[in-house]
Amino acid sequence: MNIVLAIILGIIFGFALQRVGATNPQNIINMLRLKDLHLMKAIFFAIGISSALLFLLMTAGVINAGHLSVKSSYIGVIVGGALLGLGFAVAGYCPGTGLTALADGRKDALFFIGGGLLGALIYTMVYGSIKGSWLFNTISGGKVMLATGSDKFQALLPVIPGTLLAVTIGIVFMLIAWKLPDEI
């Protein structure tokens, strides 16, 4: 059953990435050099609406809050994000879009994936010697979320009702998506 869901949900996600134009490195590069914000708008809108609906549906009991999985916050998240950002800007691919770009018949994506497998392997090899370093110092307690809504993860802003906060952030994201210009 889990494997059937993996196939269905994976197909939906891959379909969405291709159809929104995220498998095209031209769109990624033009977003990052602030020329064409079409993808940026789509990303803001996607995060905004999915976040608002997620918290509303959890409150309504439709979505099990146990499905949430909040990742830890530590220095390496920012450093790693920055390293990823450099490669992302040059290649125009991130892990998910590089992989799905294969379906477009993009040959450069094949080289990106080859490099990605090597990068992941290097990390697998060096992890043992860096795992005790400052890179893994947690920020604000590690696995935290802004809004309340899960028993597993602590909220940074527990005074505000979680659904209200998440829906508000979601609406702000959707407004940003709407207001951002397509092209600069």
Partner 1 sequence: MNGQLNWFKGGLLLGAAFLLAVAFVKPIGVSTQFVIADGIVWNLFSGSVVQKDSESKSGYSSPNAYLNKSGGKYAKNVANPINYSFVFVIAMVIGALLSSRLGGPKPTIADRSAPEVWRQRFGKNPTLRYVTVFFAGVLVLFGARLAGGCTSGHMMSGMMQTSLSGYLFAAGAFAAAVPAAVLVYKRK
| Residue ranges in 84-143 that form contacts with partner 1 under rule CB under 8 A | 84-109, 111-125, 127-128, 131, 135, 139-140, 143
* Number of shown-chain residues binding partner 1 (CB under 8 A): 124
C-alpha neighbours within 13 Å on the C-beta side of residue 8: 5
Considering only 29, 59, 161, 171, the residue that binds partner 1 (CB under 8 A) is 29
Beta-bridged to residue 183, according to DSSP, are 36
* Residues within window 40-79 making contact with partner 1, judged by CB under 8 A: 41-51, 53-54, 57, 62-63, 67-74, 76-79
Token pair in block for residue 159: 């005074």
Tokens 């390496």 identify what position?
76
Tokens 């802004």 identify what position?
146
Q: Does 15 bind partner 1 (CB under 8 A)?
A: yes
Q: Does 171 bind partner 1 (CB under 8 A)?
A: no
Minimal distance, residue 93 CB to partner 1, in Å: 7
Q: Does 163 bind partner 1 (CB under 8 A)?
A: no
Q: Of 88, 77, 79, 74, which is closest to residue 33 (Cα–Cα)?
A: 88
Number of CB atoms found within 10 A of residue 107's CB: 10
CB closer to partner 1 out of 20 and 171: 20
Minimal distance, residue 134 CB to partner 1, in Å: 13
Element (H, E) at 154: strand 154-155
What's the CA gap between 98 and 88, in Å, rounded? Answer: 10
Minimal distance, residue 159 CB to partner 1, in Å: 15
Q: Does 156 bind partner 1 (CB under 8 A)?
A: yes
Q: Are 167 and 56 in contact (CB under 8 A)?
A: yes
Q: Does 160 bind partner 1 (CB under 8 A)?
A: no
Considering only 59, 144, 171, 176, the residue that binds partner 1 (CB under 8 A) is 144
Query: 102 CB contacts (<8 Å, ≥6 apart)?
Result: 109, 110, 113
Minimal distance, residue 148 CB to partner 1, in Å: 9
